Amino acid sequence: MSLSIRVPAGLAVLAIAGAVATTAAHAQTERSIYASVLDKAGAPVQALTADDFTVREDGVEREVLRAVRADEPLQIAVLVDTSQAAGRSMSDVRKALKGFVQEMSGRHELALVGFGERPTVLTEYTRDPERLEAGIGRLFARRGSGAYALDAIVEASRGLRTRDGARRVIVLITTEGPEFSNRYHEQVLDELRPSATLHSFVLTRRGPSALDDARRQRELTLAEGSVTTGGRREHLLSSMALADRLHDLAVELEHQYRVDYSRPAALIPPEEIDVDVKRAGLTVRAPRVPRTARTGS
């Protein structure tokens, strides 16, 4: 004798929907984040594995699947202060950039932008070192001009979002001279953080320097932008030190890790990401906010 039980159609539909929802809730998706790991001397640390890294999203730890050396090409926007305040430093800046281009071009794409007066593209994105060096040769301080660093960051961020590639970087070289961009730092950071990692090098004047509101907005942008995007901010007392700092940056970028981790597919993007390593005494630089994919806007 067999016993059959009829389930009402409505309850059957609810049961199926509940099973699908449960499956979706447990589905995982894979994400990647790029990180630099440096020792106390500032040199890249190599040979780390997934077991060495931790990734947390809004405080919740995620499973690290793998950690490998990042080999994806970089998209690098180099923004250079060509205002009157940069006049005495320009020779050292050109020399330092030639070394940086020699180290990074060929496989990575770089663009060169001057921002004394309105931001001006001197070389479009290219892997060709000769084209980049030609653009460097056109870097001269503009007499009577002020810097538009914040405008340059916004325009570079928007441009990078339209380009293929996940490793997007802005290298900013500026002085502490007058800033003429009419922007608040929150507005600039909203454009920057989902777009690129910011590395800034500030050629510092000796002695106290008064900060008006425009310069304050620039300083806030560089301070917060470098931390939240996983970059560096350095103040240089001498422009002659720029060549060594750009060399250090080139070495760091060439030895980054791509850290792959899993997260529930159904979750909305996190507000904050924290990447760290379990070994003591090491510094990790990685974005603290989600990076957007390429868009056509």
Domain carrying residue 108: 74-254
- Domain-embedded: residue 6: no
The pLDDT score that the predictor gives to residue 135 is: 98
Please list the ranges in the chain whose pLDDT falls under 70. Answer: 1-26, 206-210, 293-297
pLDDT tens profile 92-103: 999 999 999 999
Domain membership flag for residue 113: yes
Output phi, psi for 156, to 5 deg: -65, -40
Structural domains of the chain, count: 1
CA distance 147 to 38: 32
Tell whether 290 is covered by a domain: no
Is residue 15, in this structure, part of any structural domain at all?
Answer: no
Q: Is residue 1 part of a domain?
A: no
The model carries a pTM of 0.88
Q: Is residue 229 part of a domain?
A: yes
How high is the pLDDT of residue 117?
86
Helix (H, G, I), strand (E, B) or coil at 164: coil
- Tell me the three-class secondary structure of 183-247, residue by residue: CCHHHHHHHHCCCCEEEEEEECCCCCCCCCHHHHHHHHHHHHHHHHHCCCEEEECCHHHHHHHHH
pLDDT at residue number 251: 97
Tokens of 262: 């899993």
Residue 166 contacts by C-beta under 8 Å, 6 or more apart in sequence? 32, 34, 72, 291
Q: Is residue 245 part of a domain?
A: yes
Evaluate whether 141 touches 274 at the Cβ level (below 8 Å).
Answer: no
| Residue of 192, 246, 249 whose CA lies nearest to 218 | 192
Q: What is the CATH number of the domain that holds 159?
A: 3.40.50.410
Domain-located, residue 47: no
Amino acid (one-letter) located at 264: P
